[in-house]
């Protein structure tokens, strides 16, 4: 009986730990260093071309790409989709569209995270052990800022966020929310819907 109560306590603790969302893991120092580059002029004109590489095992990249596209349109940012293995990420020079008068290239590798809920039971009727894990949505991302003329890497910033969601919620809304939170750390002047 004690073993059963101990296992139930462990499962409950794990479930409760999963309920707490995490904040964006972009440190204030990293956010300030991005802001120090002045990616936008005083009149909000962008000083960079933006590249997005999204990889996922499900269809969530479509939602991610739409949210980034909406941001790029709202902020008048030239945006391109690239593959995660594009030369841009190793040399600072994209495999296409190298000519630009803008001083920076900003590239983001974005990996959405969607973990469905599940219930697990083990044992038999007299020694049943189990638990429920709620669904989670989040992402991991890396922001790269390159000098357009030389391809030199100026910034390399990692970010991640994860939140527990209601069991019957639609993942796309949560993914879009995660992207908007990410964009707020990249572009504090962006007011998303």
Q: Return the residue matching tokens 């030369």.
A: 87
* CATH number assigned to the domain comprising residue 67: 3.40.50
Please check whether residue 153 lies inside any domain of the structure.
yes
Predicted local distance difference test score (pLDDT) of residue 128: 62
Question: Which residues, in sequence order, are CB contacts of 181 under 8 Å at separation 6+?
Answer: 24, 161
Domain containing residue 28: 22-115+135-186
- The angle at the Cα of 104, spanning 82 to 84, to the nearest 5 degrees, equals 20
Please check whether residue 1 lies inside any domain of the structure.
no
Domain count, the chain: 1
3-class SS letters over 4-53: HHHHHHHHHHHHHHHHCCECCCCCHHHHHHHHHCCCECCCCCECEEEEEE
Predicted local distance difference test score (pLDDT) of residue 135: 78
Please check whether residue 5 lies inside any domain of the structure.
no
Predicted local distance difference test score (pLDDT) of residue 26: 65
Per-residue confidence in pLDDT tens, the chain, 193 aa: 333 323 323 333 333 333 333 344 566 776 777 888 899 999 999 999 999 999 998 889 999 999 999 999 999 999 999 999 999 998 888 887 666 789 999 999 999 988 876 667 676 666 666 677 777 888 999 999 999 999 999 999 999 888 887 776 677 888 888 898 899 888 888 876 5
Please check whether residue 97 lies inside any domain of the structure.
yes
Maximum pairwise Cα distance, the chain? 72
Distances, alpha carbon 77 to alpha carbons 48, 151, 170, 174, 190, in Å: 7, 19, 29, 24, 12
Q: How many CB atoms lie within 10 A of CB 185?
A: 21
Q: Return the residue matching tokens 């970010």.
A: 159
* Cα 53 to Cα 80: distance, rounded to the nearest angstrom: 9
Please check whether residue 159 lies inside any domain of the structure.
yes
Please check whether residue 171 lies inside any domain of the structure.
yes
Please check whether residue 125 lies inside any domain of the structure.
no
Please check whether residue 15 lies inside any domain of the structure.
no
């Amino acid at each position: 009986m004690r073993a059963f109560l101990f296992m139930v306590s462990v499962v409950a603790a794990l479930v409760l730990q999963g309920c707490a969302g995490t904040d964006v893991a972009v440190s204030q120092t990293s956010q300030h260093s991005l802001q120090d580059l002045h990616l936008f002029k005083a009149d909000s004109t962008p000083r960079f071309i933006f590249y997005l590489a999204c990889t996922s095992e499900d269809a969530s990249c479509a939602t991610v790409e739409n949210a980034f596209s909406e941001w790029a349109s709202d902020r008048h940012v030239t945006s391109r989709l690239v593959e995660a293995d594009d030369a841009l990420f190793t040399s600072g020079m994209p495999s296409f569209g190298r000519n630009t008068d803008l001083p920076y290239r900003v590239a983001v590798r974005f990996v959405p995270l969607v973990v469905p809920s599940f219930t697990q039971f083990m044992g038999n009727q007299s020694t049943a052990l189990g638990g429920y894990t709620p669904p989670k949505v989040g992402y991991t991302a890396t922001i790269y800022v390159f000098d357009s003329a030389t391809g030199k890497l100026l910034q390399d910033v990692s970010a991640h966020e994860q939140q527990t969601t209601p069991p019957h919620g639609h993942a796309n809304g949560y993914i879009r929310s995660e992207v908007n939170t990410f964009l707020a750390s990249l572009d504090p002047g962006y007011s998303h819907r």
